[in-house]
Chains A and B, each alone.
Chain A
Amino acid sequence: MSHVWELEAAALGQIALAAVVLGAGLPALFALGIRASAWGRGGGAEAAAGGDHPPHPLGRVLSTAVFALVVLVALLGVGFIVASGYGKAVSFEDVYPTVVDK
């Protein structure tokens, strides 16, 4: 196998892995937010709980936190698009994201 195909396989593998984490992880997280929000709202929102249960404040707190996280990651995505347009990249070296030169 020549060098270029090794590079190719590595790149595709990385893409698949990162895409699974982000592309499947985020919708799952979003779904979790919806579930928590239904729990927080109470009533008939969550049919499995017997169709009627009292609203739970923790559900609201949880759903807000989860949705905020999802929005944050989506904004990071936008930041990434904008940064790469200007020849920059988003780096996670300091844990929190910073914009650096490519």
Chain B
Amino acid sequence: MTTATVILVLLVVVALAFDFTNGFHDTANAMATSIATGALKPKTAVLLSGVLNLVGAFLSVEVALTVTNAVVEIQNGDGTPVAGLTGDGGTALLVIVLAGLAGAIVWNLFTWLLSLPSSSTHALFGGLLGATVAGLGWGGVNWAGDGQKIDGLLPKVIVPALASPVIAILVAGLATWLVYRVTAGVAARFTDSGFRWGQIGSASLVSLAHGTNDAQKTMGVITLGLIATGHWTDTENIPFWVKAACALAIALGTYLGGWRIIRTLGKGLVEIAPPQGLSAESSSAAVILVSSHLGLPLSTTHVTTGSVLGTGLGRPGATVRWRVAGRMAVAWVITIPAAAVVGALLWGLAHLLGGGLVGAVVVVAVLAAAAGAMYRRSRTAPVHADNVNDDWHDGSSADAPSRTAVSA
């Protein structure tokens, strides 16, 4: 096995690990509201969401080979790596992507530890951005495309990120207001069971859409590595094993359930009643599907969080915890720069160690150590299926469940 092949194996493993964190970070997007209102039992909800993510990931046969092109210039328009990065068996490109993925995972785990929903796509783009800037300089950044279509960091990532919560708040707020208007006077015990069914349906739609949207990003990154090392040449298709592995990784991650984030989104931000849950998930499903249909896919996380906030604003008298909302907003703003800094530092570390196999191995070792440390930290105040719906106390920190937790 050549050096490049060994690094490629590391890259595949790290990419699948990212896909896994992408899954459990985003379970909350689809299922937090259904879990909070009791429409679904916590374990049932994550199982349903996991299965739908698996199905969705297999449905995404559209080639996602140019995923990195949105922010950096390490690929040509057809998905092949740019010349200059393919020397030495593609090692230069592999190390950039590896450091970028590692940066994304570190940020995903850190925000999970803090119980904050943050966009995995932003983490991935941030990590790649940092590693590319460190490796190729600022010239490697695709700021705004060629000006002829919506492409590049600003038009395709930053501006939609600012716009999506606004749209979601608007839609979910209006939906909630309408739903309460229409059902005013109908007995709650009667409406709630009906709305719970609607919640399950709309949340399922969000899960399916998530599988098709998110898993393909990792598929594209792995295939890029395969092309760079000469293990794959077809730019129209991706290998079946890549698709299967990514689908499984995101589904397993979803099934594991990011309980800390589910708790924040379901209980922390707004106290959700079934009609609000239906409004929030319908709004999310509509915004996500419409935006990817119109070629400007919006972040599932930003949309669902905005929807939950909107559903709190649309119901007169609902509790909205602005402190929690503020923490989320901060996490959103710093996701790209923070993941970029970690990605850049890791690339620098690999570069110091020769930029080859040793560097790649050390990057993976640092990543594993950081992940282990954060996991151990999370055990001091675990959140799991049995305490995810406990009452939210504003005085306590957002990530500490109110009662003494038993380990999952």
Closest to B283 in A: A23
The stretch of B98-106, B111-119, B129-137, B142-150 that contacts the partner chain: B142-150
Asked whether A8 is an interface residue with its Cβ less than 8 Å from the other chain, the reply is yes
> B248 in the interface, Cβ–Cβ < 8 Å?
no
Known: A20-B171, A24-B174, A31-B178. A41 touches B294 (CB 8 A): no
Let me know if A95 is at the binding interface, CB within 8 A: no
Could you jot down 28 A-B contacts, CB within 8 Å?
Answer: A4-B144, A11-B150, A12-B167, A15-B294, A18-B294, A22-B282, A23-B175, A24-B171, A24-B172, A24-B175, A27-B179, A27-B278, A30-B179, A31-B183, A33-B194, A34-B182, A34-B194, A45-B186, A46-B185, A46-B186, A74-B202, A77-B205, A78-B208, A80-B289, A81-B208, A84-B293, A85-B59, A86-B62
Whole-angstrom distance between the alpha carbons of A7 and B150 in the complex?
7
**B84 to chain A: which residues have CB within 8 Å?**
none
A2 to B171, CA, bound (A): 29
Closest Cβ of chain B to A80, distance in Å, is 6
Q: Tell me the nearest residue of chain A to B281, going by C-beta.
A: A27
Q: For A28, give its contact among B155, B175, B191, B291 (CB under 8 Å).
A: B175
B366 within 8 A of A: no
Question: Which residue of B187, B195, B205, B278 is within 8 Å of A38 (Cβ)?
Answer: B187
B369 located at the interface, meaning its Cβ lies under 8 Å from any Cβ of chain A in the complex: no
- Asked whether A61 is an interface residue with its Cβ less than 8 Å from the other chain, the reply is no
Q: How far is the CA of A85 from the CA of B285 in the complex (A)?
A: 16
If A27-B198, A34-B186 touch, does A81 touch B298 (CB 8 Å cutoff)?
no
B373 near A: Cβ within 8 Å?
A: no
Taking CB atoms and an 8 Å cut-off, the chain A residues in 66-99 that contact chain B are 70-71, 74, 77-78, 80-82, 84-87, 89
Q: Contact: B287 with A23, CB < 8 Å?
A: yes
Chain B neighbourhood of A30, CB < 8 A: 179, 194-195, 198, 278, 282
Structural contact, A14 and B183, CB atoms closer than 8 A = no
Q: How far is the CA of A12 from the CA of B170 in the complex (A)?
A: 13
Q: Is A35 a contact of B183 with CB atoms below 8 Å?
A: yes
How far apart sit A26 and B151, CA to CA, in the bound complex (Å)?
A: 32
Contact B205 A74 (CB under 8 A): yes
Contact of B3 with A by CB under 8 A? no
Contact flag A11-B294 (CB < 8 Å), given A4-B147, A24-B283, A27-B279: yes
- Smallest CB separation, B275 vs chain A (Å): 7
Q: What separation, in Å, do the CA atoms of A34 and B179 have in the docked complex?
A: 10
Assess whether A34 is in contact with B191, with CB atoms less than 8 Å apart.
Answer: yes
- Chain B CB count within 10 A is highest, among A3, A4, A20, A41, for A4
With beta carbons under 8 angstroms apart, the residue of B172, B185, B187, B282 that contacts A26 is: B282
